[in-house]
Amino acid sequence: MADKFPEELRNFETRLLFLHELFSNLFSQTDIMAHCVEHKLGRSFLAYSEELRRSTLYLNNEDPLKILKKIK
């Protein structure tokens, strides 16, 4: 493996530079923001779905007339 970085020249700085080169600029800022928004919307939807499920279970055990009176 001739394309390897020589071991005698490896140090903390060269390893950090290697990692920086490896992981920098993998995604554009637009892609990162889009994934963040998508994640947040997904989490909000899951929270909403769970709240809806809990509310439905609660309402199934209640008296329908009592609920109608509370709505008015």
What are the pLDDT digits (tens) for 1-15?
457 878 888 899 999
Query: CA 59, 61, 64, 69: dihedral to nearest 10 degrees?
Result: -70
Chain segment 21-72, per-residue pLDDT in tens: 888 888 888 999 999 999 999 999 999 999 999 999 988 888 888 888 888 7
Q: What is the pTM of this model?
A: 0.55
For residue 61, being part of any structural domain is answered with yes
For residue 65, being part of any structural domain is answered with yes
| Domain count of the fold of the chain | 1
Residue 53: which H helix or E strand, with range? helix 29-60
For residue 40, being part of any structural domain is answered with yes
pLDDT value for 2: 59
Q: Which long-range contacts (CB under 8 A, 24 or more apart) does 65-69 make?
A: none
For residue 5, being part of any structural domain is answered with no
For residue 34, being part of any structural domain is answered with yes
Which residues constitute the domain of residue 70? 28-72
pLDDT value for 26: 87
